[in-house]
Amino acid sequence: MSSSGTATLLRRHLKDMQNNKDIPGISCGLVRDDDIYEWEVMLIISDEVKLYGGGFFKARLSFPKEYPLLPPKMRFETPIWHPNIYEDGTVCISILHPPGEDKYGYESAAERWMPVHTPETILVSVLSMLSSPNDESPANIEAAKQWRENPAEFKKKVRRCVRDSVEAAY
């Protein structure tokens, strides 16, 4: 797909996300009006989500010129403690890994990026990941260890992240 085709597709995705009321708690916009490849996302986590409920987490989606053939990168700008999020905020989730077979044999090609994914499917997957961390292949080893070995302390640290996210949002 040409870069103008990619830009057109991303504009359509953004419009769809901004008009979609089916998924509450997701707000998307551009970081800069002249750059369709950089999105700012706010995830307002429902109180029904056990761990991160009540939080306001700002993130960025950075789309490559080769989108939808290659996945975007997602990074939380609001600090968040999670086994599948690196300390710098980068999200580590299968559908954001490049297409094809995993050279380490951990993920099948079907679990990785496919051009049928959209920003909506990415964000829904991230919301699911927040509810159900995968500690078998962690990005944040300390968070995964704490999740397994000391769940009470893990939850306490997450609640602090939620409180801090609310304070930062206002």
The 73-76 sheet, strands edge to edge: 26-30, 38-44, 56-62, 73-76
Structure tokens at 82: 């999670």
Choice among 17, 26, 92, 93 that is catalytic: 92
Asked about 92 being catalytic, the answer comes back as: yes
Element of type H or E holding 7: helix 3-19
Residue 167 amino acid letter: E
Phi first, then psi, for residue 59 (nearest 5°) are -140, 170
Rounded alpha-carbon distances, angstroms, from residue 12 to 17, 33, 36, 103, 120: 9, 15, 10, 34, 12
List residues with catalytic annotation: 92
